[in-house]
Structure 1
Amino acid sequence: MTRGAGLWFTGVFTGFLVAVLVLERSLRGFDGHVYTQVRHVELDALDRLAVVTLLPALITTGLLVAFTFRQGGRTPWWTLTALTLLVGILALTLVINMPINTDQLDWSVQAPPADWAAVRDRWQIAHTVRTGAAVLAFGALIADATRTPRGPLQGTPPSPPHELPAVQEDSSPHRRAGR
């Protein structure tokens, strides 16, 4: 259940980031007035969607790593990779994107700041990086979920031998008759 929840939250989060990236890229041809107005609309509720998908994605992926280590056996490389990428996304968001978001809430649609394009570019570069990281994290979780376990350490029983061992025949008449 944790694996399914992790895939779902990470997938929704990744899809959300891709959609915002497409919207942001399409805004590059517009002036500061249009950009500021659209950013105000984006910032009205999209930050909440990011929080309610990224945090559960982090928690469920962290739980997957913990469960795998607790069970022993294989090292959960794909899941560890996804968790590392998700933590990096959170850090990038907190350090670059969130402060810009907070600043942009105060921008006037009628009079955006003189450096609006430079701020936009900085936000979009950071967003592109975190979108790429989210795609990779989601891919890593898919790879982990679809991997084929190998050997008994992953809970898969060893494959049966190709040939059964030969049974020794006892020529005693009592044994053949079942006595």
Structure 2
Amino acid sequence: MVIFALCLTALVLTAVLLGIQLFGQVAFNPALRAVDATIYIQIKQSFDITAPRIAKPVMLLCLAAALATLVTAVVSSSMMVTGASALSLTALVIALLAVVRGDLPINQTMANWSAEEPPENWRAVRTSWERFFALRTGASCLALLATVVAVLASATELS
């Protein structure tokens, strides 16, 4: 029963994380591609101040839930839940690495840009940031799918 509750918690948190990222991937980022450098920089700098207030705690809670699920699955010798939870945790770590090694350094660079005098390579930097964002969104999607498998496997073990 505990492992099922942990799996469900991990599922909800991972779904929230992916929802945040999918909004960026399919709505926010395409909208920003349609504006000029001045507007892009102003919106991106503002967004990078507010978005981490939501995304950071959700990511940390996802990691904690995935780790707790994995540890519980290992202790209870649940092979299917262990494998799915390990995959989910690995995917979340990849998403976190994309943030730490890609998104954040690029965000710090963009934070120093002047909207009135954008750098010549602003589009190339934006494209690089979008690649890391896509990587973390894809990794979060994999984490969600793996967590669904863990939930189903743990539900099967309950019956």
TM-score (norm 2): 0.88
CA contact (8 A) 2:7 2:150 kept: no
Alignment of 1:11-160 (within 5 A): 11-21=15-25, 22-75=27-80, 76-147=82-153, 149=156, 154=157, 156=159
Deviation at 1:155, TM superposition (A): 5.9
Tell me which amino acid in the other structure corresponds to 1:94.
Answer: V
Tell me which amino acid in the other structure corresponds to 2:110.
Answer: Q
Q: Which has the higher contact order (CA 8 A, sep 6+)?
A: 2
The structure whose residues are more often helix, as a share, is 2
Gaps of 5+ in 2: none
Deviation at 1:105, TM superposition (A): 1.4
Superposed structure 1 runs of 4+ greater than 4 Å apart: none
Percent of aligned pairs sharing the same letter: 24
Gaps of 5+ in 1: 157-179
RMSD: 1.5
2:41, 2:19 → 1: CA distance?
23
1:73 and 1:124, CA in 2 relative to 1: closer, same or farther beyond 3 A? closer
TM-score (norm 1): 0.79
- Structure with max Cα Rg: 1
Equivalenced residues, count: 152
